Structure 1
Amino acid sequence: MVRDMSVKVRVEAFNALGKIETVSEYILLQTLSKKASSITKEMNFPGQYSETLFRIPAEGAVLAFLHGLEDEFDVVRVSACRALQSLAIHSAGFSNMVVNLLMGILNDDSMAVKLQALDTLHHMTLFRLLKVQQPHLHMFLGILLDCHSLIRCRARKVLKLTELPSLGMFKMCVDGLIRDLELYPQDEAEVFSALFMIGQNHREFLVRLINEASQMIEPSSGGKLGYDNVRKVSYLVLATSAPVSMKQQTCSVPPRMFSYAVTLLGRISRSFADIVDQRTLLAYLSCCSRFTFVSASEFFKMEEHRLLPHQNNKMEEHLEEGDVQLTQRREISEYDIWRKLLLKEAESSLLDFQVEHNKERNCVNIILQVVIDIWPSLKLGLINEVTCTLRSLKAELGTRSNHNHRGELVFALQYIDALEQLGYLWHHLVFSKEFYFHEWGKLECSLKKLDRCLRDMRYKLVGLTKEDNFLILELIIANSILTLCNIEACANKTTLKKLHSVMSCIEHICGEGSTESSNFVVEVQKTLSEIDTTSSSILDNPYLLLKSLEHFTPRKVVSSGNLKHMEAELHFQGNEFQNPLPFIFGLPVGLSLDIKFHNISSESRLWIKMSCEEKLTQFVFLDLHEIEGDDEVRKFTFVVPFYQIPKANCFSLKICIVLECISDGDQLFRSCGGPKHEVVHLCEDKEVYFSGQVR
């Protein structure tokens, strides 16, 4: 079909090839071969239905991608490049051949084709499959001089993650970026960022280059650094990525380089805006300028000796050593997950300055960035790797216990919880081929966990920004779509009502102008509108919404440090299973509860929930206007009666405090004499034991 006369058929054929999950390496290599070997001509593969009735010759794969990449229509060439992006990760040998082809495609007349080729190369760098040779580098650096800014931007994105095997190729990359800056001064921020990234990825090459060029960077006889000299300024930016040892107070490049970089603080800080603010950057450069310079061989020898005995230490211990470099957050790949997990980036001297002032908040921000970075791995089907990483990140957050940033820590934990459940559901409902044959009980459980987690995020956190609310609402939309697609869901009408209500909330937030809508929300709105124009109901075919989930991407989260977590403490003294309280059948029992609230407003609707054997449930309303204390901390004793005594000699009573979720879109919680909306628990259940035999 890749040779079909119809352009649409050829495009769909390559789209289908890109979705293949399992394929023989031999067949992959044949798709890039120009001639079928004698062995290939004799090979046949059984068809899907019958080996005797339908057989596929292996030589049909020959020239498949060559035809696509040389097609006269650019839409076909784009589709072929996109298919290569998915298939290249299956085989190292195949990926090497793909690189050779894509380097030629970079000279294509179509901008769309060149952009897709660069995206494919970038995808390969994420999996460390881009093996660059010197001829490739010559061709690739030419793209940095392209007249289209978008092409140059994508090329720099690839170059940031490319591993260079030699000092000569490293110098070529630096020179290429400098030529880019000379020709296009408006690219300064992105070029500086790329120089910094390349430097920190090739530390030994960087140190050798800076030490060789140190005389060139020195001020002129008049004491001027020469800000107009692009090469000199670029080398100074490159020098800021050099490794330093905070513990030994030594650096691998002359410390005066950091002093010179201070004079370019404004220009450099714009390039490093995604890492640190200008004030902290100034502190870092000033500190490093006072360090002692040691030779490269001595510096790396000390570093190797330092790392050797601490390879198995915990992250906190590893961070305290601090003999590292200023490091920018990198994009994640399957093989970088563990390195990211150990927060290699957080080991930088620069981040140490921030961590000292606000350790928990910065740790949360770094971990949240890691969560966003690994999300593309889920779309590649790496569910196990993503799940393990998310759980490890939760474990790391669990070690933090700063009360001042309790809200940020809880938010991050719940956000990771939500993405973990969403990833599990995504994998089974969106990617699975056996869609209708899964164990729906497990999926139902995950849907409920995700729903409960999102309610906690939405209602138990005080100080959420509009961006935070938008993020939570997007997750609720994703959960609603997955719930509608659950064939055992019994509350689809309620879920659909909630979906429309959340969409209205998002439209209101976007209407205020402070937050932009996402592609995911736009696609959901479009799908809902298309369904409304037809006579069919979305409940008849909810899977129409599943396609919009392909556009879902977790939003970037930056902790402001202003979040507060609503929680309650409930205590009841002097009662155990071996020491139950007495009761008289037919009469209510009274319980004296010691209660403490944190960050709960007097306007909140709180209830004491008492359950006996999961059947008899009673709610007692708590009016905080009648209870002394402030919103931050409120401590009191409250006597609560329980009337629904069971006909038994003994029973146990589970008690907890819940918050009623006041929102038009929430599901009604039908309970006589209790809350009318869904609730979230503010504390764990406490169990109280009663016995009618105790006198």
Structure 2
Amino acid sequence: MEQQVLRSFLQNAANSTPSKHALTLATSLITNPSTSISTISTIYETLTLSLSPNLNSISLHHILSLLSHLSLHRPHLRRLIFSSLRSFSLLPHNSPRSVVESLSILVSIAEQDSELVQSVKEVSESVFLSVCFGCDCISVRRWLLLNATRLLVRPAVLVSVFFGFCKDPYPEIRKAALDGLSNCCVGIEDRGIMEGCYFRGVEMLSDMHDSVRCSAVRVVSEWGQVLVAFSEGETKMYWSDALFETLCSIVRDMSVDVRLRVFDAIGKITMASESILLQSLSKKILVKSQTSNVAGAFVHGLEDEFYEVRRSACSSLSALSILSSKFACKALTLLVDMVNDDSLVVRLQALQAVHHMAQHDHQVQEENLNMLFGALFDTSTSIRSEARKIIQLLRVHSLKVFKFCVNGLVGNLENYPQDEADIFFVLFIIGRNHGSYAVSIVEETSRDIDDFFEGKLGSNGAKTAFFLVLAISASLSHEINICKIPPRMYSYAVTLLGRISSGLASALDRHVLFTYLCACSRSTSVSDSKLINGEEILQHIVTDSSGNQESCEPSRAQISRADYQLEEMEVGALVNLVLAQINSIWQLMQVGCIDEVIEMLRSWKEELENLNITSPQSFGVLAFALKYIRVLELFGKAWTNLICLKKFPLTGEIEINFGEIDYKLRELVHMFLGVDKEAAVHLLELMLVTCTLKLCSVEPWCYEFILGKLSSIYSVVELLLEKGSIEPSKFLVEVGNSLHEFQTPLGGLSNLFQFKKLLELFSLKQIELPEGLKHVKAELSIVNNTCESPLLFVSGLPVGISLQITLHNIVVDNRLWVKFTVSEDSYQYVYLDPKQFGYCDKVKKFIFVAPFYKTPKANFFKLTVTVGMECSSSDNLISRNCRGPKHELLYLCEEKEVFLSEKKSPSKT
């Protein structure tokens, strides 16, 4: 077979212009690792002999591409290919495009073989300069400018070339030159060059094209910072202030992209005069000698009509706050006002900025606390969470203000009970920091706590647990003595240990907390010999709390995204903020609190559904998150029934739930493009856990089928683990070790015990979704068909039904089917090949006339129609004939109704 393909290639390649077929044959031989060395050598010789400036550009491009493939797949030929291409690139009469393409391959080979770097240097710089200044092709020159650093051209030469091309008549070239100039600032020590590049950037800030001005902003920022770094004394402050003034002068540019780049650049400034910083916060000229360009720069940014600019202004204010305490205090007032912004992203960024400043001892003033505490009632979970982080760092100086803080957290708890765990954590921290105030509130509320445990306050357990957390935090404060808290409060806390410890998990170990509460309440549930001295417990918990608090802070910071520039980034970050809270619901699942879990999941779902999305790129991430939350809801019910409540029903209810979990998980695996390996392994692990849960709840005769499915899913997991560096969980490792033990169905408690032991190793992990997730889906409508205007048919004959179909993100391997359903037992499939309508991997809209054959003997009937995608990896066969899908379908759209009416013959008169 190899020789036949080679002969066919050589016959086609003999022409002066090799055909596309010949090139395809060569590609197949090159990429096949089994191809013999002699065949590869023949292909190489044929390709090098075909190299000629006289070839047309398309043929030459294909030959160069094949040589590039050869260098990649056949390392022993790299140097020969390098030598051939080096000679070819120096031939006269070569087109600039072919020279540049040859040069690109030479550089790629040199990057794989360091000994060839010097040879590239000898040819690349001269070719670079000759093509740059002698070629009229815009795309070629642009490519050279963008890839100049890869071509190993000397920095001094690069700066000169970029500097000159900044004045090119084409905006694409000017932009590429400015981008290149920005990348050249490392390694340049000549002050004249630094100033020349900086002022060239300043000059280009007045360019008429937005993209060029965006690149000019970067040049000004990068070279301005280089000038500051290489200056000393008063000169250093002069250049820093000049850079700040220059950037502030264009904060009112007509382009939103330019304004966005400007505020991002301002946030990178590392020093500036306090007077000029303060001027940027006020439109009124504060000092006559100052330029008006700076006046109110940040005010304009915070009032900008585009949320991206307002977000960037908030971020820059936060970064500059470390330069001046006076500036930070005034900036804090502006940032707190942004908590009422219309954009969720801006509100979140403003709160993150306030949190950053609070960490550097810039506290929110008491007159601004009302605005901050208003964020505790925001509909967004992420906003409320960020507001609590700021409250956690507050240092108040009066009982009145402390009560205001506590009341705000109580209101947060009453309106959003799903925030309970985080509220308890924040309350614990501020209670420890303000021990005397906390004791005063505990004394005021002690009667209500007593009434609750005496059955006089109904079921308001959340609020009672809230004040018990405050009592515990007060007892651990350095300000007061532990004896000021009545012992009965600790006894009460023991009875609510699960609820309290869930909230304090980030600060206190549950066992240590239990021991401490027992010791303080003199509980008889722990023998005196096991009780540790109260002071030792206190010292241990305080150390453990502070240590854990510091260690958990980075993980909290990781769940937020500060760099939002596009809407899809905004939605992706918000979705990941929601999914980051999975650990909290897993703790509740483990103790059987399924009602609280369902309430939290539904609140997350409602928050995501209320997002105002206009960008198509955001739909995939949001759709995935909503389906995933539904999976967690169903999974939580099954887990609670089987593991926590130890109910093992053999009724249909659990089976139905398992069926929906399976289907939803298959949707997540197969109907989204761009899912990374970690997320894929996570979803497959959930499938394995679902199978294991099934094995705990079904009759023994079902074991063989479910075990087969378990083994099939695990084989896919193994493939993913082999391809990447993902560390398998303990559950996955044990499933792999145990599969051979479950080959034959075992009966009774022995089998159940083995499955239960596997489930004890499982832990629900946080999943983070990558950006750019694409949702495979379809939209369907029936053309010209309503109940009042049905489609006419003749009984027993086929009828064509016109469907308007829109396909999203369908790939070439997808097998699509139109399904008609008349009743539960009567349906028909029609194969749908999207390629016959003009294949497109993003969005394709077309009209498809689907034949329906099973027209009944009826005057009028109705059927439903939908579009499904065959799940080829499914083990469930639904059809063994050639007239329908072989595997189970995943439905890409909702069912639509079709109304049909029998066509009557003309009546005789």
Match of 1:636 in 2: 846
- Deviation per residue, 1:60-119 (Å, 9 max, x gap): xxxxxxxxxxxxxxxxxxxxxxxxxxxxxxxxxxxxxxxxxxxxxxxxxxxxxxxxxxxx
Q: Are positions 1:468 and 2:549 aligned together?
A: no
1:447 maps to a residue whose letter is F
Match of 2:892 in 1: 682
Match of 2:725 among 489, 492, 514: 514
Q: Are positions 1:420 and 2:485 aligned together?
A: no
Q: Are positions 1:383 and 2:594 aligned together?
A: yes
Moved over 6 A (4+): 245-251, 253-257, 283-298, 316-324, 333-336, 340-350, 537-540
Contact 2:862–2:897 (CA under 8 A) maintained in structure 1: yes
1:299 maps to a residue whose letter is Q
2:581 alignment partner, SS class:
helix
Match of 1:315 in 2: 380
Q: How does 1:624-663 map to 2 (within 5 A)?
A: 624-663=834-873
Match of 1:337 in 2: 418
Give the Å deviation of 1:365.
Answer: 0.9
Match of 1:525 among 736, 741, 745: 736
Q: Are positions 1:258 and 2:469 aligned together?
A: no
- Deviation per residue, 1:384-430 (Å, 9 max, x gap): 11111111111111123342122211221222211211110011112
Q: Are positions 1:545 and 2:755 aligned together?
A: yes
- Deviation per residue, 1:647-666 (Å, 9 max, x gap): 33322111111000111x52
Q: Using the alignment, how far apart are the partners of 1:319 and 1:423 within structure 2?
A: 25
Give the Å deviation of 1:353.
Answer: 3.5
Match of 1:411 among 620, 624, 627: 624
Q: Using the alignment, how far apart are the partners of 1:350 and 1:547 within structure 2?
A: 32
Give the Å deviation of 1:472.
Answer: 1.1
Contact 2:691–2:710 (CA under 8 A) maintained in structure 1: yes
2:733 alignment partner, SS class:
helix
Q: Using the alignment, how far apart are the partners of 1:298 and 1:350 within structure 2?
A: 24
1:315 maps to a residue whose letter is S
Match of 2:877 in 1: 668
Match of 2:604 among 393, 396, 408: 393
Q: Percent of aligned pairs with the same residue?
A: 32
Contact 2:781–2:804 (CA under 8 A) maintained in structure 1: yes
Give the Å deviation of 1:630.
Answer: 1.4
Sort the Cα spacing of 1:538 and 1:645 in 2 relative to 1 into closer, same or farther, 3 A.
farther
Q: Using the alignment, how far apart are the partners of 1:501 and 1:415 within structure 2?
A: 22
- Deviation per residue, 1:120-173 (Å, 9 max, x gap): xxxxxxxxxxxxxxxxxxxxxxxxxxxxxxxxxxxxxxxxxxxxxxxxxxxxxx
Q: Using the alignment, how far apart are the partners of 1:398 and 1:367 within structure 2?
A: 12
1:258 maps to a residue whose letter is I
Q: Using the alignment, how far apart are the partners of 1:535 and 1:485 within structure 2?
A: 13
Gaps of 5+ in 2: 1-232, 235-298, 304-312, 326-345, 394-412, 427-552
Q: How does 1:244-393 map to 2 (within 5 A)?
A: 258-259=322-323, 299-304=365-370, 307=373, 312-315=377-380, 325=390, 337-338=418-419, 351=560, 353-355=562-564, 357=566, 358-393=569-604
Give the Å deviation of 1:496.
Answer: 2.1
Q: Are positions 1:604 and 2:798 aligned together?
A: no
Q: Using the alignment, how far apart are the partners of 1:386 and 1:668 within structure 2?
A: 35
2:563 maps to a residue whose letter is Q
Match of 2:79 in 1: none
The alignment's TM-score, normalised by the length of structure 2, stands at: 0.41
1:624 maps to a residue whose letter is P
Sort the Cα spacing of 1:297 and 1:451 in 2 relative to 1 into closer, same or farther, 3 A.
closer
2:774 maps to a residue whose letter is K
Match of 1:13 in 2: none
Sort the Cα spacing of 1:355 and 1:517 in 2 relative to 1 into closer, same or farther, 3 A.
same
Contact 2:805–2:846 (CA under 8 A) maintained in structure 1: yes
Sort the Cα spacing of 1:430 and 1:535 in 2 relative to 1 into closer, same or farther, 3 A.
closer
Contact 1:660–1:679 (CA under 8 A) maintained in structure 2: yes
Q: Using the alignment, how far apart are the partners of 2:749 and 2:352 within structure 1?
A: 63
Match of 2:698 among 479, 487, 502: 487
Q: Using the alignment, how far apart are the partners of 2:850 and 2:360 within structure 1?
A: 72
Q: How does 1:562-641 map to 2 (within 5 A)?
A: 562-641=772-851
2:641 maps to a residue whose letter is H
Contact 1:605–1:660 (CA under 8 A) maintained in structure 2: yes
Q: Using the alignment, how far apart are the partners of 2:358 and 2:683 within structure 1?
A: 49
1:561 maps to a residue whose letter is E
Contact 1:325–1:348 (CA under 8 A) maintained in structure 2: no
1:648 alignment partner, SS class:
coil
Q: How does 1:546-561 map to 2 (within 5 A)?
A: 546-561=756-771
Sort the Cα spacing of 1:373 and 1:320 in 2 relative to 1 into closer, same or farther, 3 A.
closer
Sort the Cα spacing of 1:486 and 1:579 in 2 relative to 1 into closer, same or farther, 3 A.
farther
Sort the Cα spacing of 1:327 and 1:680 in 2 relative to 1 into closer, same or farther, 3 A.
farther
The alignment's TM-score, normalised by the length of structure 1, stands at: 0.53
2:870 maps to a residue whose letter is E
2:591 maps to a residue whose letter is L
Give the Å deviation of 1:490.
Answer: 7.8
Match of 2:61 in 1: none
Gaps of 5+ in 1: 1-221, 224-244, 262-279
Sort the Cα spacing of 1:365 and 1:519 in 2 relative to 1 into closer, same or farther, 3 A.
same
Give the Å deviation of 1:604.
Answer: 0.8
Contact 1:608–1:656 (CA under 8 A) maintained in structure 2: yes
Contact 1:662–1:677 (CA under 8 A) maintained in structure 2: yes
Sort the Cα spacing of 1:505 and 1:617 in 2 relative to 1 into closer, same or farther, 3 A.
same
Q: Using the alignment, how far apart are the partners of 2:793 and 2:643 within structure 1?
A: 54
Aligned length in residues: 423
Give the Å deviation of 1:474.
Answer: 0.4
Match of 2:169 in 1: none
Contact 1:483–1:489 (CA under 8 A) maintained in structure 2: no
Q: Using the alignment, how far apart are the partners of 1:247 and 1:347 within structure 2?
A: 27
Contact 1:324–1:348 (CA under 8 A) maintained in structure 2: no
1:644 alignment partner, SS class:
coil
Give the Å deviation of 1:364.
Answer: 0.9
Q: Using the alignment, how far apart are the partners of 2:681 and 2:358 within structure 1?
A: 49
Give the Å deviation of 1:623.
Answer: 1.8
Match of 1:447 in 2: 658
Query: Which structure's relative contact order is higher, taking Cα pairs within 8 Å and 6+ residues apart?
Result: 1
Q: Are positions 1:429 and 2:636 aligned together?
A: no
Q: Using the alignment, how far apart are the partners of 1:293 and 1:555 within structure 2?
A: 29
Contact 1:650–1:690 (CA under 8 A) maintained in structure 2: yes
Q: Using the alignment, how far apart are the partners of 1:522 and 1:404 within structure 2?
A: 36
Give the Å deviation of 1:588.
Answer: 1.1
Give the Å deviation of 1:379.
Answer: 0.5
Q: Using the alignment, how far apart are the partners of 1:474 and 1:349 within structure 2?
A: 24
Q: Using the alignment, how far apart are the partners of 2:771 and 2:843 within structure 1?
A: 19
Q: Using the alignment, how far apart are the partners of 2:381 and 2:366 within structure 1?
A: 22
2:894 alignment partner, SS class:
coil
Q: Using the alignment, how far apart are the partners of 1:654 and 1:604 within structure 2?
A: 23
